[in-house]
Structure 1
Amino acid sequence: MKPIISRENGLYKDLKNLAANSQARRKAGKTLLDGVHLCEAYLQQIGMPQLCVVADTAQTHPEVAAILLKCEAQQVLCISLPENLYQAISQVENGVGILFVILTPVPVLPEMIEHTSVALDGLQDPGNLGSLLRSAAAAGVRHVFCAPGTAFAWSPKVMRAGMGAHFLLNIYEQADLQSILSVARIPVLATSSHTQTTIYQANLKQAVIWLFGHEGQGVSPELMKMATQTVTIPQQAAIESLNVAASAAICLFEQVRQQLSV
């Protein structure tokens, strides 16, 4: 365990920059996993981090101690920070003081999409994106394609909302959805209020690509034209529309229900 007690320490400055700056995270190809749950999920699903950071006050916490033991056994660099320095880089209020620095995964685009996937066109709210990713992972989705303009999937806010879902998905940033959808060999489904077919009437027993868009503007007209089918979620007329993360969860788990009934 390497203690760092100065704000002027170069490694600490790098950590603070990663924590505060999305561009810095993208440029470095790194992100932060903040909290016991995300760190445990990463160890279980992926492996060892580049760096493990703990607050002095958290070192004796049983879950933190167990994570530290695993990291040190694999010779991962572990550093300790005074509580005030740790809180300056953590975005979790009243959490247990541990975080990982990891390389942001960059999966290779599949040559052919054969499994149910999600394509996101300009989804901007980190909480919505994280919740959607959590639902996608729980529903058995393999791939998530994020078009330019979509929130950075590996930002700390999105990852906290995702609760470890990221490590069960292949997430493709800056994806060219037009190219991807143009060669898709499975149906592309988009939700729309201008159709009569409900998700409960659609045949969802096969693999599909779900297309979801911006919270306010929805899917762009260009991409909407590429949808094989549009479906609607029945709801009360007094409500203009559902939250995109809620809509995605309803669609994905209606598909799960239909597939389980085969």
Structure 2
Amino acid sequence: MTTKIISSRDNPLYKELKHLATSSQARRKAGRTLLDGIHLCEAYLQQVGLPPLCIASETALLNSEVTVIVQQCIHSHTQCIVLPDALFHALSQVEHGVDILFVIDTPELTEPQRLLQSAVLLDRVQDPGNFGSIVRSAAAAGIKQVFCSAGTTFAWSPKVMRAGMGAHFLMEIFENVDLEALIARADIPVIATSSHAEKRLYDLDLTQPVAWLFGHEGQGVTEHLLALATHQITIPHLGAIESLNVAASSAVCFFEQVRQITARS
């Protein structure tokens, strides 16, 4: 298979790609999303495999790293498209990046009936950067599952993917989950962060699997979910700041768990 050159904005495939690049609704409906840049594309090749479609700009083909990726896709019979720089940049949200994109299928996973291993529960976390950072920290801490309530930002949006830096490919991510029902049937402790809690993170035994529950950037975890949690905890801090950003809070929690586990090994 060889590369196909598209030079017209009116090309039907290009119009489809533009729709995917600019519309979350289109990505959800198609069950596809875009990976933008060398790092994410390489991570996908290493952790998942070949994408349905590879796209590069004309200038990017002069980059040796891009050439390796494109040739790998061609040799494996993956469709490859080359675009003029201007057309490519209308698809990409990365400024001053290296112009390569993958179109990938977003996973369709069957939600497990019970929580048995350490996991992350996200209640209406809406900022793509926060979501991606949480996934990245969770993956680094060895956590394998993320459960997202309705109202949480789309897990597979290009912005979330960039913030996750490839962590998505190491995780099982479930969307539109009824967190109340999931917590009710959990077989492990559910720990919710709250700036109003009295119990400290560092007072808990985290050497066994737990489910971490984090909430909306401004409103936190909803009251009915807080009431279902096994523990409500706060993260002590010394400065005159009411609370930490949700992505920072999650990282502190995950790595306190890592610290306790590794201290016993």
Question: Is the structural similarity TM-score above 0.5?
Answer: yes
Tell me how far 1:89 sits from its aligned partner.
0.5
Structure 2 equivalent of residue 248 of structure 1: 250
Deviations along 1:210-235, one digit per CA (max 9) or x if unpaired, are 00000000001111111001111001
Tell me how far 1:110 sits from its aligned partner.
1.8
Q: Residues of 1 paired with 2:72 and 2:239: CA distance? A: 54
Deviations along 1:98-130, one digit per CA (max 9) or x if unpaired, are 000000112221233221000000000011111
Q: Residues of 1 paired with 2:11 and 2:117: CA distance? A: 47
Unmatched runs of 5 consecutive residues or more in structure 1:
none
Tell me how far 1:195 sits from its aligned partner.
2.5
Structure 2 equivalent of residue 209 of structure 1: 211
Structure 1 equivalent of residue 237 of structure 2: 235
Q: Residues of 1 paired with 2:115 and 2:65: CA distance? A: 39
- Where do 4+ consecutive residues of structure 1 move more than 4 Å? none
Aligned length: 262
Match of 1:125 among 118, 124, 127: 127
- Name the SS of the counterpart of 1:59 in structure 2: helix
Structure 1 equivalent of residue 188 of structure 2: 186
Q: Residues of 2 paired with 1:72 and 1:60: CA distance? A: 16
Tell me how far 1:60 sits from its aligned partner.
2.2
Q: Residues of 1 paired with 2:231 and 2:242: CA distance? A: 21
Tell me how far 1:170 sits from its aligned partner.
0.3
Aligned 1:1-262 pairs, distance under 5 A: 1-236=3-238, 238-262=240-264
Q: Residues of 1 paired with 2:218 and 2:187: CA distance? A: 29
Q: Residues of 2 paired with 1:194 and 1:243: CA distance? A: 15
Unmatched runs of 5 consecutive residues or more in structure 2:
none
- Name the SS of the counterpart of 1:153 in structure 2: coil
Q: Could you tell me the percent identity over the aligned residues?
A: 59
RMSD between superposed Cα atoms in Å:
0.8
Give the AA of the match of 1:213: G
Give the AA of the match of 1:170: E
Give the AA of the match of 1:20: T
TM-score, with normalisation over the residues of structure 2? Answer: 0.97
